[in-house]
Amino acid sequence: MLELGAKFLLSYLIGSVMGALLIGRLTGGVDIRKQGSGNAGGTNALRTQGWLFALGVVVIDVGKGAIGAGVIPGLELPLIGTSEKVSREWLTISCATAAVMGHVWPVWHEFRGGKGAATLVGTLSVLMPVLLVPVLLTWVLMLVTTGYVGLSTMSAGIAAPVFLAVTRLPADQPVFIYCVAMALYLVFSHRANIARMRDGNENRMTRAMLPHMSERRSGSIVNNASVLGWRAQKGQAHYAAAKAGVMALTRCAALEAADDGVRINAVAPSLATHPFLAKVTPQEVLDELEAREAFGRGAEPWEVANVMVFLASDYASYMTGEVVSVSSQRA
């Protein structure tokens, strides 16, 4: 038990090294806990200090999670040694947990840290690297479709135990228990974000990135809407209303950002084919939607992405406030 306690403490102390505050001190004494959301994590670093500062924060925070889970459990500590009574797997889980706890409640920084998402990713990269695929894919998908970083982080955390439950349990039960605990923690730590989303006050990526683009007087934002923002479909009133809101946001924000040299446009796909859609949509509905398209099929994701790349590039330098339909329904 002495080995477990010592390595848990060491992992906690390493986790308490805050990337945001370390880089802040090296760049003029910036404390991002006094700016933006007040959180000492990568998202607030991006919103208040820019992408280069945020990249350094993420590298440090992910790295200390990997060290906590991958290096500390195997160390030979002087005067302590190793104990055969301690399960190596549960020792690793304990050290991973300690690294996340250190980030959230850092002893070096008055126990005021971040939410631990990046450090959690670092621990998963050691515990089970394959989990990074569903976790990162879920995060990107949710960010693209909703624009909420907090919701994307919670969804990604939930994706890890769901993936294990479907594919690996019970072979990786300790990791599964760890992932369930971390998913519950991420939801709890984002309770303020949940309240802001409920009240309609949560920051989206457009609002988060616009100040940095305006400061350098250049940039391009591409939002993701849908043709249902213009058209009608039974059973999709909620979705259509949300996408119409994205279109209105795009047009209004584009006017506000134009003076700063920032362009804001949106794509409006009609039907994009991907496995997630097939899982939640009856085949007869998919067949009906595909029949409306001139090519008799939905767009491949890359076909939608090509239009987004065009809008983001300098080839679309004169376009702003536009919603571009990615559809073959008008043919």
Going by the DSSP 8-state scheme, the letter that residue 230 receives in this structure is T
**Active-site residue 318, yes or no?**
no
For the stretch 115-151, what's the b/e string if a residue is b when 16 or more beta carbons lie within 10 angstroms of its beta carbon? Answer: bbbbbbbbbbbbbbeebeebbeebbebbbeebbbbbb
- φ, ψ of residue 222 to 5 degrees: the values are -120, 115
Of 134, 103, 130, give the one whose Cα is nearest residue 116: 103
CA distance 38 to 154: 19
Beta bridge partners of 220: 263
Judge contact between 240 and 232, C-beta under 8 A: yes
Amino acid at 78: P
Which residue is catalytic, options 12, 148, 239, 318? 239
Between the alpha carbon of residue 241 and those of residues 108, 146, 231, 316, the distances in Å are: 47, 13, 10, 27
Between the alpha carbon of residue 319 and those of residues 144, 216, 244, 315, the distances in Å are: 21, 19, 19, 9
Judge contact between 17 and 64, C-beta under 8 A: yes
Query: Roughly what angle, to the nearest 10 degrees, separates helices 51-70 and 2-15?
Result: 170
Residues with a catalytic annotation lie at 239
